[in-house]
């Protein structure tokens, strides 16, 4: 029975470490990166920057809150994979819109570019929290043609 307690403590410790890493990585460092990106948008008004910031904050918070609600390491790992897939798909859709607008108008809307960039930073933050195999499998799945 002592082994069960030890194994449980090890699993709990792994879970808490991963949970803390999620909590830390998806907050301050990510927000600092968003600030840097949005500061590189000189022609934007403060309200335009704030709108992009609110947009990506709401996306991040939705993923973060679901991850922090996980009760086990398995739930958290599954949530990470799902959050990563969701954000990667969202980023892909934004990039598709950018390409479409560029083809039609010669240039995409500036806010769209900055939304896509900030969403890509969420993807980049989630990626190291997953195994290389999971990232590769998800990337392969998302890259498959729909024929």
For the stretch 5-36, pLDDT in tens is 445 566 688 999 999 999 999 999 999 999 99
pLDDT of residue 12: 81
Q: pLDDT tens-digit profile of 38-73?
A: 999 999 999 999 999 999 999 999 999 999 999 999
DSSP label at residue 111: H
Angstrom distances, CA of residue 15 to CA of 1, 23, 96, 122? 21, 12, 36, 21
The residue-averaged pLDDT of 106-113 equals 97
Question: What is the model's pTM?
Answer: 0.88
pLDDT band at 93 (very low <50, low <70, confident <90, very high): very high
Q: For residues 140 and 119, give the distance between their C-alpha atoms in angstroms, rounded to a whole number.
A: 20
Q: Give percent of the chain above pLDDT 70.
A: 93
pLDDT of residue 112: 98
Q: b or e along 69-91 (b: 16 or more beta carbons within 10 Å of the residue's beta carbon)? A: ebeebeebbebbbebbbbbbebb
- Calculate the dihedral angle through the C-alpha atoms of 104, 120, 51, 24, rounding to the nearest 10 degrees: 180
Q: For residues 108 and 39, give the distance between their C-alpha atoms in angstroms, rounded to a whole number.
A: 19
């Amino acid at each position: 029975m002592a082994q069960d307690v030890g194994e449980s403590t090890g699993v709990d410790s792994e879970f808490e470490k991963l949970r803390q890493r999620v909590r830390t990585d998806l907050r301050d460092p990510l927000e600092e990166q968003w600030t840097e990106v949005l500061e590189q948008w000189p022609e934007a008004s403060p309200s335009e920057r704030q709108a992009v910031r609110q947009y990506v904050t709401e996306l991040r918070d939705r993923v973060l809150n679901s991850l922090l609600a996980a009760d086990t390491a398995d739930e958290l790992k599954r949530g990470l994979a799902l959050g990563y897939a969701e954000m990667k798909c969202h980023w892909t859709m934004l990039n598709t819109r950018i390409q479409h607008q560029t083809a039609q108008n010669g240039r995409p809307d500036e806010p769209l570019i900055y939304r896509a960039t900030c969403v890509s930073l969420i993807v980049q933050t989630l990626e190291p929290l997953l195994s290389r195999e999971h990232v590769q499998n998800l990337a392969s799945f998302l890259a498959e043609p729909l024929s």
